[in-house]
Structure 1
Amino acid sequence: MDKKKREGTEAVREDQNGLCLCTCTCCGHQNPEGSRHCPACGHYLIVWDEILCSVCGAEIPAEYTYCGHCGSRRPGGTD
């Protein structure tokens, strides 16, 4: 899967020690930034800001399952 920009998380905030936390969108558990999976439920935490369509090369926002340009399913997309 090609990444267009950078890795990121859906929800980020700081804890009482100033450490960045990301909130699991599945169970709400607070995880240290950079975690790939939630230790509470196993949900995959990292999302791509944008990826490139493997068919036409257009940018596909992370929240889209299909390319808005050619209609192909995005790599790693889920229904």
Structure 2
Amino acid sequence: MTLTLDLHPIFQSQRDVDQAVRSMMFRAAKSDVERVIIIPGKGSQKLKNRVLALLRQPHLKKLYKAVEPDPENLGRVIVRFR
């Protein structure tokens, strides 16, 4: 199963972005999810870099197995849980 989080509607609020990413990660860790696709968009990469920095925080890092850019779309980040 795959969950998707599109950050386009909330990209202007760093607080909302942080909360959405954290909520999705905890939700995915509690359920039987193989991966989460986070869509920060291509843009200037500021939002993508913020998401990657957030995912490197120790309390979130222990929830997932790997983070990788989507090879087909530079505006997406794939977080693998298994």
Q: Please indicate the TM-score interval, normalised by the length of the shorter structure.
A: under 0.3
TM-score using structure 2 length: 0.24
Larger-gyration structure (1/2): 1
TM-score using structure 1 length: 0.25
Please state which structure has a larger fraction of its residues in helix: 2
For CA contacts below 8 A with separation 6 or more, give which structure has more relative contact order: 2
